[in-house]
């Protein structure tokens, strides 16, 4: 067995602010505790969460330096005490949610409602580094046919999309779904999952390239984000409007999203890229009998279902950009400037 190095290359968040707050550092290789596994990281994908934490909008009291990065793929480097069902060298994908494992919510399969719920890279150390130690429960086998970069593109955004479509919206095959920001990390999964259900998908995108990608992923129609969204949905649905709107764009588009719903429609929100504070006319909500559903992540078990879709060839990871770990600042700018199409993935040496 090769000797384990004692230090590792990392890119750490050393302050709260712009991309310059990300600094290359050498850190000690973590030791796996009891019932933990040490993973040698090969790829880590970015999420908007990384930008929120960097800016201090999410988890502002986190001690620094901190390692971002929730979506991690690699291979097992060492096993902690009490882990006997895995082998060193085995390729793995990490589930980004960590929970207590013994409360009522954890035991009923709603671990993402656990009061001790943590996300790798947000509440605990993440994957902008060569190694990470995680609980055994967070280890999944690498999906067959995927390389580490493709696999890393999946967990957080696909889990988020899964819960939104199957649990919160409970989308039906005869329904129409409106998916905003069509080529974002979550939306590329939303579009594909809405099509797995068999629903009609209207996507909203801002550039010709993004529209083409949305259609390739299965969207039935695409609306240009510069046009009047409500009017466009009205025209496409013959005045019926959408049964479900999937939105993580936030305040800027909130009222348009509500107005794009039919009577009795559901709006599912999992984020607010353009800001958290939006005005909700309550008469729209009660008179049209709308449901506004919040969603964060999905349960650990949901990721098994997501990987089943991948195995069946019905869900494909969408990797837009691959850059080296030390180019993490450039990767953050791609996300922040909304230039990304699909996932931005850091390749770890």
Which positions lie near Zn ion, rule CB under 5 A? Answer: 99-100, 103, 106, 114
If one counts every other C-beta atom within 10 angstroms of the C-beta of residue 296, the result is 16
DSSP track, 1-30:
-PPPPSEEEEEEE-SSSSGGGEEEEEEEPP
**Nearest in space to 183 (alpha carbons), one of 153, 163, 155:** 153
Is the Cβ of residue 100 or residue 322 nearer to Zn ion in the bound state?
A: 100
Four-point Cα dihedral 304, 310, 314, 315, nearest 10: 90
Is the Cβ of residue 118 or residue 255 nearer to Zn ion in the bound state?
A: 118
* CB of 165 closer than 8 Å to CB of 197: yes
CB of 32 to Zn ion, least distance (A): 21
If one counts every other C-beta atom within 10 angstroms of the C-beta of residue 123, the result is 16
Is the Cβ of residue 119 or residue 219 nearer to Zn ion in the bound state?
A: 119
Cα distance between the two ends of the chain: 19
Is the Cβ of residue 102 or residue 279 nearer to Zn ion in the bound state?
A: 102
Four-point Cα dihedral 264, 270, 275, 277, nearest 10: 50
Is the Cβ of residue 19 or residue 101 nearer to Zn ion in the bound state?
A: 101
CB of 101 to Zn ion, least distance (A): 6
CB of 109 to Zn ion, least distance (A): 11
The C-alpha atoms of residue 4 and residue 290 are separated, in whole angstroms, by 56
Buried b (16+ CB within 10 A) or exposed e, 10-38: bbbbeebeeeebbeebebebbebeeebbb
* CB of 110 closer than 8 Å to CB of 163: no
Instruction: For residue 141, give both structure tokens.
Output: 């086998």
Is the Cβ of residue 116 or residue 329 nearer to Zn ion in the bound state?
A: 116
CB of 114 to Zn ion, least distance (A): 3
CB of 144 to Zn ion, least distance (A): 31
Is the Cβ of residue 55 or residue 123 nearer to Zn ion in the bound state?
A: 123
Instruction: For residue 306, give both structure tokens.
Output: 């997501």
Is the Cβ of residue 93 or residue 106 nearer to Zn ion in the bound state?
A: 106
* CB of 328 closer than 8 Å to CB of 23: no
CB of 204 to Zn ion, least distance (A): 36
CB of 296 to Zn ion, least distance (A): 15
CB of 110 to Zn ion, least distance (A): 9
Is the Cβ of residue 95 or residue 184 nearer to Zn ion in the bound state?
A: 95
CB of 98 to Zn ion, least distance (A): 10
The C-alpha atoms of residue 297 and residue 109 are separated, in whole angstroms, by 13
Q: Which residue's structure tokens are 């712009």?
A: 18
Strand extents, DSSP E, the chain: 7-13, 22-28, 36-45, 71-79, 91-94, 97-98, 118-119, 131-135, 139-141, 176-179, 200-205, 221-224, 242-247, 261-269, 291-294, 319-324, 343-347
Is the Cβ of residue 124 or residue 288 nearer to Zn ion in the bound state?
A: 124
CB of 102 to Zn ion, least distance (A): 6
């Amino acid at each position: 067995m090769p000797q384990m190095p004692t230090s590792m290359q990392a890119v750490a968040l050393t302050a709260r602010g712009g991309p310059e707050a990300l600094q290359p550092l050498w850190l000690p290789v973590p030791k796996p505790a009891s019932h933990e596994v040490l993973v040698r990281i090969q790829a880590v994908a970015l999420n908007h969460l990384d930008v929120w934490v960097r800016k201090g909008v999410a988890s502002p009291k986190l001690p620094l330096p901190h390692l971002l990065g929730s979506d991690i793929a690699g291979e097992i480097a060492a096993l902690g005490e009490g882990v006997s069902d895995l082998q060193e060298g085995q390729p793995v994908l990490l589930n980004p949610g960590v929970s207590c494992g013994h409360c009522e919510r954890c035991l009923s399969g709603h671990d993402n409602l656990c009061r001790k719920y943590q996300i790798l890279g947000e509440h605990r150390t993440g994957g902008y580094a060569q190694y990470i130690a995680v609980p055994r429960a967070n280890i999944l086998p690498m999906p067959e046919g995927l390389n580490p970069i493709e696999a890393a593109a999946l967990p957080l955004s696909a889990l988020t999309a899964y819960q939104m479509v199957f649990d919160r919206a409970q989308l039906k095959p005869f329904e129409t779904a409106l998916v905003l920001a069509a080529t974002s990390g979550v939306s590329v999964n939303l579009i594909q999952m809405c099509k797995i259900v068999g629903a009609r998908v209207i996507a909203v995108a801002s550039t010709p390239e993004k529209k083409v990608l949305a259609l390739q992923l299965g969207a039935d129609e695409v609306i240009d984000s510069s046009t009047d969204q409500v009017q466009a949905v009205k025209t496409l649905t013959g005045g019926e409007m959408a049964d479900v709107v999937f939105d993580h764009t936030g305040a800027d588009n909130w009222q348009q999203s509500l107005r794009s719903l039919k009577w009795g429609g559901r709006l599912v929100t999992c984020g607010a890229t353009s800001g958290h504070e939006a005005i909700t006319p309550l008469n729209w909500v009660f008179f049209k009998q709308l449901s506004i559903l919040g969603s964060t992540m999905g349960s650990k078990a949901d990721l098994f279902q997501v990987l089943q879709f991948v195995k069946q060839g019905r869900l494909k990871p969408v990797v837009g950009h691959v850059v080296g770990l030390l180019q993490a600042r450039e990767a953050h700018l791609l996300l922040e400037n909304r230039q990304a199409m699909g996932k931005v993935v850091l390749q770890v040496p």
